[in-house]
Structure 1
Amino acid sequence: MLYNFLFPLASDFAALNVFKYLTFRTGGAVMTALLISFIFGPSVIRHLQSKQKGGQPIRDDGPEGHLLSKQGTPTMGGFLILLAVILATLLWADLTNGYIWAALGVTISYGGVGFLDDYLKVSKRHHKGLPGKLKLLLQVSFAVAATLWIMRLMPPALETTLTVPFFKSVMINLGWMFLAFSAFVMVGASNAVNLTDGLDGLAIVPVMIAAGVFALIAYIVGNAVFAQYLQLNHVPGAGELAVFCGSLIGGGLGFLWFNAPPARVFMGDTGSLSLGGALGAVSVITKHELVLAIVGGLFVLETVSVIVQVVSFKLTGKRVFAMAPLHHHFEKKGWAEATIVIRFWIIASILALIGLSTLKLR
């Protein structure tokens, strides 16, 4: 909004020329989202506490310590993240850019699905919310709609193609199968972040790390000179997503202030589904879907642990892990919560560096 209103006046007021620069507006989005979280966080938490007398329902079959340490903590804190991300993006992004609206659309719609899920859990005082099939149907529907919009915005040569990391000239044209693949990326990323969100601060930091990586990727692929130098596919207009990713970082930092152990609020599905969907949408637009699997490898690992656990139990009657997802396995093994969280953050940082290396190693 500021770009659309103020940058046209730069010819008369030279100082307004700074709004032309993505780096300036990305920094502005980070700080704005952070401030919004700090300002509205306490009141949002108080409101959630007043409406959720018992806090988030805790699973009886989960780690025993959660029944004591996390009882009464309100959920739906993802609303605070959404508020910060949406307002910061609208303030600092170029609102004529279609990719911004596609990313926001996925984020808001997935946040809505998560909100319904959280609301049912809280109102029924049970850990089950929306039926799984209905939740998946809504996620796929929103992902398909977003993909169709993204495909219309894409250059024809990139509309249905999949690029492969580490190979500069490998592009696989999926045709209309790209629609299914893109939906799989968004839905998969959304649910992977949701599975990871099980300990205080565990999911939000890896999300911020991934958002930082994709802010850089978006900036590079949106710049014809940088993209050509690094032998990446240039996606005109994708650079604006750096502002969106900046708002994810700022909103995540602000939320972490209240989610740091011991958490005053949980993000719930409202936050985890929307954040995962946002990362998935950005990866599709920047043509780095497979890189998301590397950068977000922690989320992939958590998801795979659940799949392995379920398949193993159904086929053999035995469990591979003490409990799934993986972070609960280590809780059962006696690791302290802070130890698990920090070590998982370290893993996320290492995977982010590996993902960044794909930009040069081609």
Structure 2
Amino acid sequence: MLYYLFEYLDQLDIPGAGVFQYISFRAGMAAFFSLLITITYGKTLINFLRKKQIGEDIRDLGLEGQLSKKGTPTMGGLIIIAAILVPTLLFAKVDNIYIILLLITTVWLGLIGFLDDYIKVFKKDKKGLAGRFKIVGQVGLGLIVGLTLYFSQDVVVREVSPSEISTVQMNELQRNEEGNVGFKDVKSTKTTVPFLKNNELDYNDLVPFVPDEYTWVIYTLVVILVITAISNGANITDGIDGLAAGTSGIIGITIAILAYLSGRIDFSNYLNIMYIPNLAELVIFCTAFVGACLGFLWYNAFPAQVFMGDTGSLTLGGVIAVLALAVRKELLIPVLCGIFIVENLSVVIQVAYFKYTKKKYGEGRRVFLMSPLHHHYQKLNIPEAKIVTRFWIIGILLAILTLATLKLR
């Protein structure tokens, strides 16, 4: 909202008002305000949750230090959501299609997670919101995101011929989205394939026997799968202090870089990647997202003073999924979100193997000492803080590998 105010002031030649035209400035301010909100109001929220006795009910799983967490305030994801929404609304162009989608995603999954936490805390039902209702909510969001990205005329790729325009004209195209020299904006069903020289996949070619007019069905199914998998993966990862928030922050920084590069015509031309008009605006959302994650760690780092609950974890995972889809890097998710994927798979493998061995041998056997994977390492008596730090390091390595795919083809 402030963007439009300062745009008007700039037209009146008010000194300094033009600074809001720079994405880098607005992104920095979004990160600053996001951190400020979480750190300043986080303590207020914690005290409120304690006063209302909104605490985590811990099951005894035989993990060291687990029972000491009983009664720790939960639903702290509310401060994460506020720290994402407020700076984004203040500093981003709120009429941008990508910003609109991310705001809807944040509120939508935040409500699903809040309902789940509410049932657990106030209704004293440890199962929370039934799994089928969570899936319905995630599928509903997937339909909104998938259909919007596929059909919206604001979601386009700009095809530029560098051989036809000079560097000066290229820079002018970056500054002036209304220019009409040497390029055309087209609807595209292409996405990025990592590690390949011609690293683009067209969803029209994904299933050859399906006519092009039905490609939207394939694409929407992919979107639903990605949102469901990553939101649930983040939810499962949120099992020990600081793990989900720290991992999400690392992923958020990486996507911010990808969005900035794909949203600038000069960098996208140099790196030979798709230039997506108006995408760079997502950098403001990403920095607010990262600020919210890092600010939440102020209170969530070991030993945690508050848990994010499903209110936060479902939101973080869903936001990351939609960000990856918006920058057309969904096929990089197995690398970028490797922590979430492995945590998810550890549960699937554990359950599947237990059922298989029980049916075959009459006694269920396990692959891991306990799932998800972080609990396996806790069973090995590795201190919780060390597990989290090592997972963060792995997350940083995966982020570097993700960025390296821009050149490794």
* Counterpart position of 1:338: 385
Instruction: Please give the secondary structure, in 2, of the residue aligned with 1:94.
Output: coil
| Corresponding residue of 1:325 | 372
More off after superposition, 33-42 vs 204-213: 33-42
1:338 corresponds to which letter in structure 2?
A
Partner of 1:20: 21
Structure 1 counterpart SS, 2:243? coil
Query: 8 Å contact 2:228–2:318 — kept in the other structure?
Result: yes
Q: Distance in 2 between matches of 1:188 and 1:271?
A: 16
Measured in 2, the distance between the counterparts of 1:63 and 1:251 equals: 32
Match of 1:304 in 2: 345
The equivalent of 1:149 in structure 2 is 148
Once the two structures are TM-superposed, the CA of residue 158 in structure 1 deviates from its matched residue by 5.3
- Worse-matched range after superposition: 62-71 or 236-245: 62-71
Q: Per-residue CA shift, 1:306-360, capped at 9, x if unaligned?
A: 1111111111121100000000000011111111111111111111100110122
Query: For 1:15 and 1:280, how far apart are their aligned partners in 2?
Result: 36
The answer to whether the aligner puts 1:5 opposite 2:5 as a matched pair is yes
Q: Offset of 1:167 from its aligned partner?
A: 2.4
Identify the residue that residue 232 of structure 2 maps to in structure 1. 191
* Residue identity in the other structure for 1:45: I
- Residue 172 of structure 1 corresponds to 202
RMSD: 1.5
Distance 1:63 1:299 in 2: 24
Q: What residue number does 1:52 align with?
A: 53
Task: Write the deviation string for residues 178-235 of structure 1: whole angstroms up to 9, x where unpaired.
Answer: 1010111112111111110000101111100100000011111111221121111111
1:1-362 map, 5 Å: 1-11=1-11, 12-52=13-53, 55-60=55-60, 62-151=61-150, 152=152, 153-155=154-156, 157=186, 159-169=188-198, 170-174=200-204, 175-176=215-216, 177-316=218-357, 317-362=364-409
Partner amino acid, structure 2, of 1:30: A
Gaps of 5+ in 2: 158-185, 205-214, 358-363
After TM superposition, give the deviation of residue 67 of structure 1 in Å.
4.2
C-alpha contact (below 8 Å) 2:262/2:327 kept by paired residues? yes
Query: Alignment length, in residue pairs?
Result: 360
Query: Structure 1 187/158 Cα, relative in aligned 2: closer, same or farther at 3 Å?
Result: farther
Report the alpha carbon displacement of residue 51 of structure 1 after superposing the two structures with TM: 2.0
Structure 1 unaligned blocks of 5 or more: none
Q: How far did residue 96 of structure 1 move?
A: 1.8
CA contact (8 A) 2:343 2:373 kept: yes
**Mean alpha-carbon deviation: is it higher for 320-329 or for 31-40?**
31-40
How far apart in 1 are the matches of 2:268 and 2:4?
25
Secondary structure, counterpart of 2:16 in structure 1 = helix
TM-score scaled by structure 2?
0.85
Q: Offset at 1:154?
A: 1.7
TM-score relative to the length of structure 1? 0.96
Distance 2:197 2:95 in 1: 31
State which structure, 1 or 2, has the greater radius of gyration over its C-alpha atoms: 2
Shift of 1:66: 4.9
